[in-house]
Amino acid sequence: MKMNAWILFYKGTSLQFPYEQRDELIALWESTIVCGLRCGVSIEQQKKNCKEDLDELEEWIVGMVGGKEYDNNDIQKKIGKKDFKLLLNKWGLNVVCGLKLKVINNDNMNGHQFISEK
């Protein structure tokens, strides 16, 4: 079975997203930067908000899994499907915007990676 994955990570903490939706989700999340500007939220404030959100989310995920290996199913079991969807959206939004705003670099600890297995 072929598996495609899109992994978004920050400080080495990662969540997996639907590979097939990556282009759509990147465009949607990046559009929030423009929406913020139209609503009077400066780029500098957006950068600050993004960094604060990423730090908070990363600490929460690490605390919840207790430093053990995990996958999306482990987290969903702990917090429920609805809250997990909210977590995914907030995580994806902040990682993608963090890259676009240069709050984080796409390196071996932060950013995104596409994985395709045959």
Mean pLDDT of 7-15: 95
Residue 1 has pLDDT above 70, yes or no: no
- What is the model's pTM? 0.91
pLDDT surpasses 80 at 21: yes
Six token digits for residue 31: 């559009």
Give the span between the Cα atoms of 70 and 56, in whole angstroms: 18
Task: State the pLDDT at residue 2.
Answer: 61
Contacts 24+ apart (CB under 8 A), 102-111: 102/47, 103/47, 103/50, 103/51, 103/54, 104/10, 104/54, 109/9, 109/10, 109/11, 109/12, 110/9, 110/10, 110/11, 111/8, 111/9
Q: Which amino acid is at 21?
A: Q
37-90: pLDDT as tens digits: 999 999 999 999 999 999 999 999 999 888 788 999 999 999 999 999 999 999
Q: Kindly list the domain boundaries of the chain, sorted by start residue.
A: 3-117
